[in-house]
Structure 1
Amino acid sequence: MTRLVERAFSYGYLSPQALGAFLKEAVTAPRRLVRLLGAIFKAHKTERKRGLMVLAYFPKALALGHWCRKTGVDHIHGEFAGHPATTAMIAAEVAGVPYSFSAHANDIVVSQALLVEKAQKAAFVRSISRYNIAFLDRLEGFPTEKLELVRCGVARASLKGDGPAALGDGPLRILYVGSLIEKKGVQYLIDALAMLPTDLDWQLQIVGGGDLADDLAKRVHTHGLSDRVTFDGPQPAEVVARAFAKAHVVVVPSIVGEQGRIEGIPVVIMEALANARPVIASALSGIPELIEDGVTGRLVPPEDASAIANALQEIATDWQAAAAMGMRGRDRVAAEYVVEDNAGKLADLMKRAG
C-alpha cells in the first residue's frame, strides 16, 4: 500500500499538463474533442452545476489519457460511477485502452447523467451489491450483461480475536463508528437510547465527526443522557480497533439522506462482524445482503428509534444469542467480504478486459 501511495499524483486544473493536453487534443484530434464535449453537454442539460464540474476537470482527464498512453497503461478503472467513471471514460478514449468502473451507492442514485453511456462503453461495471445490480437493471439501455458483483471488504488480518466479553455487572457497551452526517441516522440511535428501560445499564461511544456533531450533542443533553454518551471525534485506526474490542454491540442506523443519498454496504458493518460483534443495522440498500435478521445481526426499519431500542433490549436480555449472531457474521465476512480476495477478483476482471 505504501508503495502505491508514493506513486500517486494529480494534475492541477490549470496546470501546464492539463492545458497542454487540451490544446494538443484541439490540434491533433478535434473531432474526438468535440464528440466528448458534446456528450457532456447533452447529458447534463438538466444538471448544469454537475456539468460545469465535469468541464472543470475535463483537461485533467485528457492529461491522464495522454499519460496512460505514454506509460503503456492498458486498463483504466474509476472507483465510483460518477466523476471518477467520467474521468476514466475520457482518459481511456484518449489513451485507446479499455476502462471499467465501480458502482457503490450515492454514485448511481444521486445522478444518472452519462451513467448509461459510460456503462455501454465500459469493458465491465463492478457492483458492490445485488441491490445495485437490480437498480441499474431498471435503467433504460443499461447493459446489464456487463455487471460484475465484486464486494468491498476488510483485511483478512482483522478476522481475529475472541467475541465480545459476556455481559457482567457492567453496562451494555454500545458503539457507533462513522461520520455524523444526515444519511447516517445517528439521531435515531440517540432517540432509541432514551426509550430504553431505566433499569438497563448501558454506555454509548460515538467515534467520528461531522456537520451534525453539535446538534447530536444537544439532542443527547435534551434527553438527559450526557453521562452515558461520549463523543470521541475522528480517531486513527488503532483507536477504532480498541473501540470494537471493547464494544458489546455496534449500531448502524442508516437512513436515506438529501437527494436520495444512501449507504451501500457500510464497511463499518464488515469491521464489526470481523470482530464478531453483533450488529443492529437499517434494512436499507445492500445492507440485508450482509446482515440477515436474526442470523448475522438484527435489521430494523430506517428512521425507527423504537425498533432500535427493542433490538438493544433483546441483545441485553439474550446475550448468548447475540454473541452467536456475531460469530456467524464473522463467518459471512470471511466467506464474501475479505478485501484481498475481492481485490484479486477485480484485478482478474481488468486483466481479462485488457
Structure 2
Amino acid sequence: MKICCIVSDFPKVTETFALANVQQFRAAGHAARVFHIKPFRSHEIVHPDAREVVEDAMHFGYFTPQTFGLAVRRALRRPMGVARVVRHIVKAFWSQPRHLAVSMMLVPQALALAQKAKEDGVDFFYAEFAGYPATVAWIASRMTGIPFGFSAHAHDIFITQSLLSQKARDAVFVRTISDFNRRFLVEKAHVPMDKISVIRCGVAPGLAEAPAPEAPVDGQPFQLLFVGALLPRKGVDVLLKALAWLPKDTNWRLRIIGGGSQEAALRDLAKTLPEGRVTFDGAQPSDVVHAAMAQAHLVIVPSIEGAEGRSEGIPVVLMEAMAHGRPVIASRLSGIPELVQAGVTGYLVAPGEVQALSTAIGRVMEEYPSALGLARAGQARVLADYNIGKNANALLELIRESK
C-alpha cells in the first residue's frame, strides 16, 4: 500500500512520533512517504536511522510554478469540487481571518499533492495532526477520491474546532492519543464517538534496558532533567522558580536540553539561582537525550496552557523518561494524568503552581526509594500501553481497514 503521511513541519525533534510511524509503516512493507507543508527544517538534528525517511520526504512551495502547474491540472478535472472546498473553508473560518488566510494558502498546495498522488498511485492520505495537515489531506481526498484519516494530538484541536467536524465526517477514521481528547472531540467538535479510535503515541521498548537509577551518595548532587522546546507553554520558568523555593542546602543540578524563543529569558532567570546549578545544552540528538535520562534522578515536565489554548497532549518525553525507569513530575493537564497517575506511576502538580512543584521535587528527594517504586510502575505502564511498534501497527490497521 502507498501511504502519504502529511505533517506541517519536518523533520521536527519534538514530533519524533511522526517519523516513528512512517518507519513502522515501512517496516511492515508499505511504501510510506512524508509530505511536509512548510519548508524543510534543515537546522534540525536527524538521527541516522531516520535519514532515509527524511531524505525521501516531499514538499511543494506555496506559490511556485511546480505547485501551480500540478494544482491547475487537478482543478481543471474537478472545478466544482474546488469551489465547494473553498466555500467550506470560508464558511468555517469567516470569523477567524488568520486561520482563513492560512487555509486558503493551502488550497493550491493540496491540489498539487492531489495531482501528484494520483500520478504516483497513492492509496491513502494520513495526516498526523487535525489542523492544517488534516485540511490538506481532506482537500486532496475530495479532489481524488483517495480515502484519508487523521490524528488529533493537542493544540491541533484545542485552538479552533472550525472545519474539524467536516473533516471528521469525511475521514475514514479519527485517531486520537487520549481519552481526554476523545471527550473533547465529541463535546466540542461534535465528532461521532464511533468515528474516533484512541491509539496512544509510544516509544521503543528498548529504552527500558537502561540501568535503574540509584539515590545520590557521598555528597553527589541530585540530577534533575528537563527536555523540550524552550517555549512559554513548556513551563520551564515555573521549574526555575520552584527550584528557588528549595532549602538553600539542597544539593541539586538541573540540565536543560532544548532550544527555543524563551532561552535568553530563561538564562536570565537561571542567574537568580546559585551559580553552576543550571546548564543549558541546547537541542540534542536522541542518543544524547537518552543518555541524559539514564543519568537523571528525576525528569520534570512542568507544562502549562499556552496562548490560544496551545497545550500538551501526552508529551513523548514523559513516555521516554518512564520507559527509562526514571521518576517523573508532570502537570495535571490534558491527557497527561492518563499516563502519569498521581501516587501510582509518578507525581502530578497543578500547572503553573510554583510552590506545589517545589514541594513535589523536595518530596522526591526526601523519599527517593518510594519514588523509584512509582518509577517501576510507570515503566511497566509505558511498556504495556505506549509501545511505538504496537501502537503504530494499530494505526496501520485502521488504514488497512479503509481499503
TM-score bracket, normalised by the shorter chain, equals over 0.9
1:292 alignment partner AA: Q
Given that 2:78 and 2:143 are in contact with CA atoms closer than 8 Å, whether structure 1 keeps it comes out as: no
Q: CA deviation at 1:151?
A: 0.6
8 Å CA contact 1:74–1:98 kept in 2: the answer is: yes
Deviations 1:142-176 (A, max 9, x none): 22210000111111222212211222121111111
Alignment of 1:163 with 2:204, yes or no, is no
Q: Could you tell me the TM-score, scaled by structure 2's length?
A: 0.85
How far apart, CA to CA, are the structure 2 residues paired with 1:285 and 1:152?
14
Q: CA deviation at 1:298?
A: 0.3
Amino acid in the other structure paired with 1:155: A
**Rounded Cα–Cα distance in structure 1 between residues aligned with 2:400 and 2:73:** 30
CA distance in 1, matches of 2:205, 2:368: 26
For each residue in 1:281-307, what CA deviation from the matched residue of structure 2 results, as whole angstroms up to 9, or x when unmatched?
A: 000000000001111100001111111
SS of match in other structure, 2:341: coil
Q: Is 1:205 matched up with 2:255?
A: yes
Describe the SS at the equivalent of 1:204. Answer: strand
Say how many residue pairs are matched. 353
1:138 aligns with 2:176: no
Equivalent AA in structure 2 for residue 201 of structure 1: N
**Which deviates further from its counterpart, 32-41 or 67-76?**
67-76
- Equivalent positions of 1:215-230 (< 5 A) are 215-222=265-272, 224-230=273-279
| Alignment check: 8 A CA contact 1:69 1:96 kept | no
* Corresponding residue SS for 2:271: helix
Return 5+ residue gaps in structure 2 as ranges.
1-22, 24-50
Equivalent in the alignment of 2:228? 178
Identity in percent: 43
Q: Residue 139 of structure 2: SS of its match in structure 1?
A: helix
TM, length-normalised to structure 1: 0.96
Tell me if 1:32 matches 2:103: no
Greater shift in the superposed pair: 288-297 or 194-203: 194-203
> Counterparts in 2 of 1:112-131, with a 5 A limit?
112-131=161-180
* Large movers: runs of 4+ above 6 Å: none
Question: What is the CA distance between 1:46 and its match in structure 2?
Answer: 1.0
1:101 to 136, 150, 154: 150
Deviation at 1:30, TM superposition (A): 1.4
Contact 2:177–2:201 under 8 Å retained in 1: yes
Matched AA of 2:244: A
* Partner Cα distance (1:26, 1:60) in 2: 12
Which whole-Å CA distance do the structure 1 matches of 2:192 and 2:257 have between them? 40
Contact 1:185/1:253 (CA < 8 Å) preserved in 2?
yes
- Which residue number in structure 2 is paired with residue 337 of structure 1? 386
Q: Match of 2:360? A: 311
Distance 2:121 2:54 in 1: 20
| Residue equivalent to 2:246 | 196
Instruction: State the 1:140 CA deviation.
Output: 5.3
Q: Give the structure 2 partner of residue 298 of structure 1.
A: 347
Q: Equivalences for 1:23-62 in 2 at 5 Å?
A: 23-62=72-111
Are 2:199 and 1:150 equivalent residues in the alignment? yes
- Taking only aligned residues, the RMSD between alpha carbons, in angstroms, comes to 1.3
Q: Residue type of the partner of 1:194?
A: A
Q: Where does residue 261 of structure 1 map in the other structure?
A: 310
Question: Displacement of 1:5 after TM fit?
Answer: 2.9
User: For residues 189 and 232 of structure 2, what CA distance do their matches in structure 1 show?
Assistant: 30
Shift of 1:97: 1.6
Whether the 8 Å contact between 1:276 and 1:327 is mirrored in structure 2 is yes
Cα drift, residue 26 of structure 1: 4.0
Moved more, 202-211 or 8-17: 8-17
* Alpha-carbon distance in 2 for matches of 1:73, 1:115: 24
Q: SS in structure 2 opposite 1:126?
A: strand
Pairwise CA distance, 1:4: 3.1
Per-residue deviation, residues 107-152 of structure 1 (Å, max 9, x unmatched): 0011112111000111110001111001111125322210000111
**8 Å Cα contact 2:241-2:354 kept in structure 1:** yes
Partner of 2:58: 9
Structure 1 residue 70 displacement after superposition: 2.2
Matches within 5 A, 1:83-94: 83-94=132-143
Is the 8 Å Cα contact of residues 164 and 189 (structure 2) preserved in structure 1?
Answer: no
The answer for unaligned runs of 5 or more in structure 1 is none
| Cα shift at 1:327 | 1.2
Amino acid at match of 1:69: K
Which amino acid letter does the alignment assign opposite residue 139 of structure 1?
K
Which residue, out of 122, 127, 132, partners 1:73?
122
Rounded Cα–Cα distance in structure 2 between residues aligned with 1:280 and 1:140: 31
